[in-house]
């Protein structure tokens, strides 16, 4: 059975699915087997697509007018088609870029394998660039992530205060601008150092902070 999916980006009525509907109907898809959304392709919460994918069964074929009607990006498209293939469902594109893609044919399977290779290549490039960026930042003394609350100065003040029986932990945390969780990660209730506290004090640069 052929099942069609249509999508337009805007839900304000300025875009319609008539062209897509006509093409899918001409491809032999019955009206009751057409699903549609009025939402950006970047959105994951598309009820029409969700219902379409749920309705597909083994040996069915999902048909779209153009490739970009289905997915947000190449990786999303590849993952979606992989999931379809694992369920025994074919995928076919009628026109535009990817019009040769029909996973029910040997040629279409070849085209899809190229798409999958490109998606993997894109993923590896992103990972490589991310790692290179982190390494370059660390080499310049910069670390990513949220600024840490506990500093060596705050830690030494907390050590001194925690050794006093009259110290109120909540008041101490408010004064230092840290949470109880951060305090007790670095210090024991008697003010002795815990591993995170020792690690912080052993750092060469006093103003480098740690959680």
* Helix (H) or strand (E) segment spanning residue 185: helix 180-186
The CATH number of residue 11's host domain is 3.40.50.1390
What share of the chain has pLDDT > 70, as a percent?
Answer: 88
Residue in 9, 100, 113, 192 annotated catalytic: 9
51 assigned to some structural domain = yes
113 classed as catalytic? no
What are 185's two structure tokens?
Answer: 């990660």
Q: Same domain for 116 and 16?
A: yes
Model pLDDT for residues 49-82, shown as the tens digit of each residue = 999 999 999 999 999 999 889 876 777 888 888 8
49 assigned to some structural domain = yes
134 assigned to some structural domain = no
The whole-number pLDDT of residue 119 equals 65
Model pLDDT for residues 104-116, shown as the tens digit of each residue = 888 888 877 877 7
Q: Which residue has the higher pLDDT, 140 or 21?
A: 21
Q: Which residue, 121, 139, 174, sits at the end of a domain?
A: 121
Q: Same domain for 52 and 104?
A: yes
Q: What average pLDDT does the chain have? A: 83
Domain of residue 10 covers 2-121
Q: Same domain for 103 and 174?
A: no
Q: Same domain for 16 and 102?
A: yes
127 assigned to some structural domain = no
Q: Same domain for 163 and 89?
A: no
What number is the average pLDDT over the span 163-179? 87
List, as one string, the DSSP characters of 32-73: GGEEEEES-TT-S--HHHHHHHHH--TT-EEEESSGGGT-SS
**Total number of domains in the chain:** 2
pLDDT band at 208 (very low <50, low <70, confident <90, very high): very low
Q: Which residue, 121, 142, 162, sits at the end of a domain?
A: 121
Contact residues for 65 (Cβ-Cβ < 8 A; gap 6+): 6, 19, 20, 23, 24, 93, 94, 95, 96
Please answer whether residues 84 and 90 qualify as being in contact, where contact means their C-beta atoms are separated by less than 8 angstroms.
yes
């Amino acid at each position: 059975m052929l099942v069609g999916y249509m999508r337009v980006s805007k839900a304000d009525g300025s875009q319609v699915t008539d062209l897509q509907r006509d093409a899918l109907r001409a491809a032999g898809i019955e009206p009751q087997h057409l699903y549609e959304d009025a939402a950006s392709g970047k959105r994951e919460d598309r009820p029409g697509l969700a219902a379409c994918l749920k309705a597909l069964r083994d040996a069915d074929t999902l048909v779209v007018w153009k490739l970009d009607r289905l997915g947000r990006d190449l990786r999303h498209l590849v993952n979606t088609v992989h999931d379809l293939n694992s369920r025994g469902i074919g995928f076919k594109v009628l026109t535009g870029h990817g019009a040769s893609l029909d996973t029910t044919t040997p040629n279409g399977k070849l085209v899809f394998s190229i798409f999958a290779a490109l998606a993997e290549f894109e993923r590896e490039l992103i990972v490589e660039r991310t790692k290179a960026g982190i390494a370059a930042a660390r080499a310049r003394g910069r670390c990513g992530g949220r600024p840490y609350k506990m500093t060596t100065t705050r830690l030494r003040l907390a050590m001194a205060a925690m050794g006093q029986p009259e110290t109120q932990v909540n008041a101490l945390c408010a004064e230092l601008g840290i949470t109880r969780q951060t305090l007790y990660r670095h210090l024991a209730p008697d003010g002795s150092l815990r591993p995170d506290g020792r690690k912080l004090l052993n750092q060469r640069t006093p103003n480098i902070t740690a959680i």
